[in-house]
Chain A
Amino acid sequence: MSVGAAKIPVRVAEVVEVNPLIKRFRFQRRDGGPMPVFSGGAHIVVDMDDHGTRRMNPYSLMSDPADTSGYEISVRRDEAGRGGSLFLHRHVTVGMEMVISSPINLFPLDARARRHLMIAGGIGITPFLSQIAALQAHGGQFELHYSARSRDFAAYADDLTARHGDKVRLYLDDQGQLINLNSLLQGQPLGTHLYVCGPKGMIGWVRQTAETLGWPLAAVHSEEFLAPPVGLPFQVQLAASGKTITVGPAQSLLEAIEAAGVTAPYLCRGGACGECETDVLGCDGQIAHNDHWLTDEQKAGDRQIMPCVSRFGGKTLILDR
């Protein structure tokens, strides 16, 4: 059972090339009304019609949660991806009408924290922008360590250092500047919470170091949207609807189910929240479980699948949809 809020019809109010890889998009409501207030770290799902292929990708909100005049997202162009970011970069222009979801937060600040220690890599800076704005409004201590490949690709770094001075430290790869993670993580007072957002490798490194230094899991938070990986096409039988569908190489299983006119519950569409969990009635082949939701036992058992990010290869896959 998935009870979704109404979608928000929007118009693109602004498209800004932040750097050669990143574009910022500003959305305003078509009816001129205020956007819903949201909590720092939230994301929206952007509904795209890419020349007949429907895409729905999650993007962190980077704008100030208290600014209800519009929402802003920053999108990094990903040549090797399924095409969502490419669509946004190449085809979305000012004035275009689109549809977005209400904000959902899978990366919130821990309200009990005495201090928020933030580590960002590249485009991973975006959720921290809305979180920092929220902390400014409601009170709260933070420190941001932001790593980028070079000054040109350190989106929003100038703005952050201008506004927050010492609380923001920038590390540029091309100048050999590395976060001294060991030292940073050993010097934090009890009650500090750690947040990391960026490439998979960086998240892994930060989590591993934190664990080695004795940080409890409950004090370490990360967000990494799994964009459904590109793969080979495959066929699926939808037992409950009596349909057989083909999932295209650049299409997720969930998107293919929806394209066949079958409703399936979903929320984050990124393998994290569990909402789209589907029973597997028959499987002769290999399910690629690309999600963060199912347990290792469940993944081994192949009795459930998360269609938003997972794929299949083999003879037969039968789902309860």
Chain B
Amino acid sequence: MAASFPPSIPSRPVYGTLTARPGTAHLMVADGEGAAALTDMLARAQDAAGLLARSHIIYMPGPTGTDLWASLNALGAAQCHRSPSFAAALPRLQQVLSDAHMGLQIYVAGTEGLIGQVQREAMLAGLPWQAVQTEHRGSTVRRVQCVHCKGITENVRTDPFPCSHCGLNLFVRDHYSRRIAAFQGVNIDAEDPGQVPAAVVRFT
């Protein structure tokens, strides 16, 4: 089931539960445990077969190694593709969005990093971001942008953590940017250089 994040500041994204919606085409993207959100949605759908006949599924394993490809491949969707990573899937995703018409329904499930990046691509293609359905499943590791050097560190597990680009020690805020598809990281020892609290594993 979808994990709920504790209530936080208004810029912290809130995810939902995927529901089949009327549309002329359906794009489903998932990573890791997100595959189960897709199969759960289809199990609840009134006309799953009709939906799948107009569906394009893109799947990649999750950051902690979970790989549920078999369950999606068995669905019989019109198109179903397994990608090794989001970076590898990106050109395909952009092409699908570029060819798409209004009426396309988009469903994303899995890690926040995947959800944010797919939502961003949809926004860049001109679809209002609110139209993308999202459901969080699986790992809570975060994409964090260092506000100082602008580099993004993937799969952040601890707070604080060292920026993978410039090395500054950063604390992880809940302040989130849809455009960058990342949380914000800020130097934790700016005022007292060297005084860095012990890293706590916050995201798994």
Contacts and interface: CB of A to CB of B under 8 A. Distances in A.
B102 interface: yes
Given A112-B126, A218-B130, A218-B131, A190 B22 contact: no
Interface string A109-141: 000111000000000000000000000000000
Given A212-B22, A214-B23, A214-B24, A189 B101 contact: yes
A191 B126 CA distance: 4
A218 B102 CA distance: 12
Most chain A beta-carbon contacts within 10 A, residue among B22, B101, B102, B125: B102
A211 B105 CA distance: 11
Specify which of A113, A217, A219 lies most central, judged by the most chain B CB atoms within 10 Å of its CB: A219
Contacts of B131: 216, 218-219
Contact of A213 (B23, B127, B130): B23
Contacts of A213: 22-24, 102-103
Contact of B102 (A212, A217, A219): A219
Nearest to B122: A190
B97 interface: yes
Contacts of B98: 190
Interface in A180-225: 185-192, 194, 211-219
Interface in A12-70: none
Contact of A187 (B21, B101, B125, B126): B101
A270 to B, nearest CB: 25
Contacts of B128: 216, 218-219
Contact of B127 (A185, A186, A190, A194): A190
Contacts of B1: none
Contacts of B126: 112-114, 189-192
Given A211-B22, A212-B22, A213-B23, A190 B100 contact: yes
Given A113-B126, A213-B103, A215-B103, A190 B24 contact: no
A105 B105 CA distance: 30
B22 to A, nearest CB: 5
A216 B22 contact: no
Nearest to A218: B128
Chain B interface, DSSP helix/strand/loop, else mixed:
loop
A211 B100 CA distance: 17
A276 B29 CA distance: 45
Contacts of B21: 214
B104 interface: yes
Contacts of B104: 190, 214
Contacts of B127: 190-191, 216, 219
A112 B131 CA distance: 15
Contacts of A112: 126
A107 to B, nearest CB: 17
Contacts of A188: 101-103
Contact of A190 (B23, B102, B130): B102
Nearest to B128: A218
Interface string B87-128: 000000000011011111100000000000000000001111
A186 B24 contact: yes
A186 B23 CA distance: 9
Nearest to B102: A188
Contacts of A214: 21-24, 102-105
Given A216-B131, A218-B130, A190 B97 contact: yes
A207 B23 CA distance: 14
B105 to A, nearest CB: 5
B104 to A, nearest CB: 7
A219 B23 CA distance: 14
25 contacts: A185-B102, A185-B103, A186-B102, A188-B101, A188-B102, A188-B103, A189-B102, A190-B97, A190-B104, A190-B125, A190-B127, A191-B125, A191-B127, A192-B126, A211-B22, A214-B23, A214-B102, A214-B104, A216-B127, A216-B128, A216-B130, A216-B131, A218-B131, A219-B102, A219-B128
| 9 closest cross-chain pairs (CB), A and B | A191-B126, A214-B23, A216-B131, A218-B128, A214-B103, A188-B102, A190-B100, A213-B103, A114-B126
